[in-house]
């Protein structure tokens, strides 16, 4: 099974590039930029990667990204993950990035975008890896700020595939961002949103009805509402589930308790992603291995999960056909 999962042409729909910052690279960038970290060693930083909830993680997440200061830093961040993921058999990544988190720190949007887009181009040219770009808004920041950032990104609209919504879910319902998503729709962007991780199933419903999203990031709490499950199944709305992330943030206590098998049994269109791999126990391969062990899944289940992801990925149709052919040939 391990050999099969390594060779599987994996497609990741839910990856936060800032959450791929490994402690080793954090120390390298801190030294390069003259930043003093609150850790004396790489191991000490790794030991700090323990959280009781989403907010505890976010505090460390934003602290970690303080080492990102210029275009080269964002390039190094992205290429480090792209190479690591490709080594695990990943062939496509839909990558969330958080411009507000960097604008707040006084970094120009151009530094962020130039570094990420340079890495995307190089990865696509040299690694046999395709990259989708999801510009995510921080839901615990004002909605008018998100709208301003969307307009500010005008020079890059052609390079961005979708907009997303992430960060602290509690008390930040999707409806807060209706105007932002309406503008994104007018501009022709695909629309996705985190919902039903910490927030209730009603947040999933709201994201579908008010933001008109085509993809729900996480969505595991949909099972609280039978009518919602039926709708998600009927409309085949993809759920980008992140198993090891859910364990790390205590959405579930143990992976064996995870609702993934039930989501599949309900006929929902589920995929597997890593979310923030540096903080949550590993990338795509680790998540696949963990699910195989916890649920006893065979090849057929992983083939279906991968097919779901390929069908929903932000790729050209030519690339989608190629990836499906690779899956069928395995």
| Residue 45: band (very low, low, confident or very high) from pLDDT cuts 50, 70, 90 | confident
What is the predicted pLDDT for the residue at 246?
96
Percent of the chain with pLDDT over 90: 92
| Residue 46: band (very low, low, confident or very high) from pLDDT cuts 50, 70, 90 | confident
Q: What is the mean pLDDT of residues 201-230?
A: 98
> What's the pLDDT tens digit per position in 299-320?
999 999 999 999 999 999 999 9
The phi and psi torsions of 154 (rounded to 5 degrees) equal -50, -40
For residues 168 and 63, the model is more confident at 168
Residues recognised as catalytic: 197
> What's the pLDDT tens digit per position in 9-43?
999 999 999 999 999 999 999 999 999 988 899 99
Reported CATH class of domain 2-22+68-329: alpha beta
What is the predicted pLDDT for the residue at 307?
98
What is the predicted pLDDT for the residue at 75?
98
Q: What is the mean pLDDT of residues 182-196?
A: 98
Domain ranges of the chain: 2-22+68-329
- Please say if the pLDDT value at position 52 is more than 80: no
pTM over 0.85: yes
Q: What is the mean pLDDT of residues 86-96?
A: 98
> How distant, in Å, are the alpha carbons of 181, 194, 301 from that of 208?
11, 11, 27
CA angle 233, 192, 268 (to 5 degrees): 15
| Residue 53: band (very low, low, confident or very high) from pLDDT cuts 50, 70, 90 | confident
| Residue 110: band (very low, low, confident or very high) from pLDDT cuts 50, 70, 90 | very high
- Please say if the pLDDT value at position 57 is more than 90: no
The sign of the torsion formed by the CA atoms of 80, 86, 87, 88 equals: positive
């Amino acid at each position: 099974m391990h050999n099969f999962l390594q060779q599987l042409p994996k497609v990741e729909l839910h990856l936060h590039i800032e959450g791929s910052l490994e402690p080793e690279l954090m120390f390298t960038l801190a030294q390069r930029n003259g930043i003093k970290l609150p850790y004396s060693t790489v191991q000490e930083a790794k030991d700090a990667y323990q959280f009781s909830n989403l907010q505890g993680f976010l505090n460390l997440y934003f602290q970690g990204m303080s080492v990102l200061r210029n275009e080269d830093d964002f390039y190094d961040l992205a290429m480090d993950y792209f190479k690591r993921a490709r080594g695990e058999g990943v062939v496509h990544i839909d990558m969330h990035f958080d411009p507000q988190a960097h604008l707040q720190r006084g970094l120009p949007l151009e530094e962020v975008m130039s570094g990420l887009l340079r890495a995307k181009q190089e990865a696509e040219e040299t690694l046999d890896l395709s990259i989708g770009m999801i510009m995510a808004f921080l839901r615990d920041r004002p909605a008018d700020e998100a709208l301003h950032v969307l307009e500010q990104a005008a020079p890059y609209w052609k390079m961005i595939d979708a907009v997303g919504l992430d960060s602290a879910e509690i008390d930040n319902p999707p409806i807060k961002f209706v105007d932002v998503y309406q503008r994104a729709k007018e501009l022709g962007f695909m629309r996705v949103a985190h919902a039903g991780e910490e927030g209730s199933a009603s947040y999933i419903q709201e994201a579908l009805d008010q933001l008109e999203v085509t993809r729900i990031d996480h969505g595991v709490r949909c099972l609280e509402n039978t009518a919602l499950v039926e709708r998600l199944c009927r409309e085949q709305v993809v759920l980008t589930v992140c198993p090891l992330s859910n364990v790390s943030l205590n959405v579930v206590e143990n992976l064996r308790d995870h609702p993934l098998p039930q989501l599949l049994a309900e006929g929902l269109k589920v995929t597997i992603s890593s979310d923030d791999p540096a903080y949550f126990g590993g990338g795509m391969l680790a998540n696949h291995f963990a699910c195989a062990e916890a649920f006893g899944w065979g090849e057929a289940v992983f083939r279906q999960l991968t097919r779901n992801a390929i069908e929903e990925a932000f790729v050209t149709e030519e690339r989608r056909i190629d990836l499906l052919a690779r899956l069928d040939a395995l």
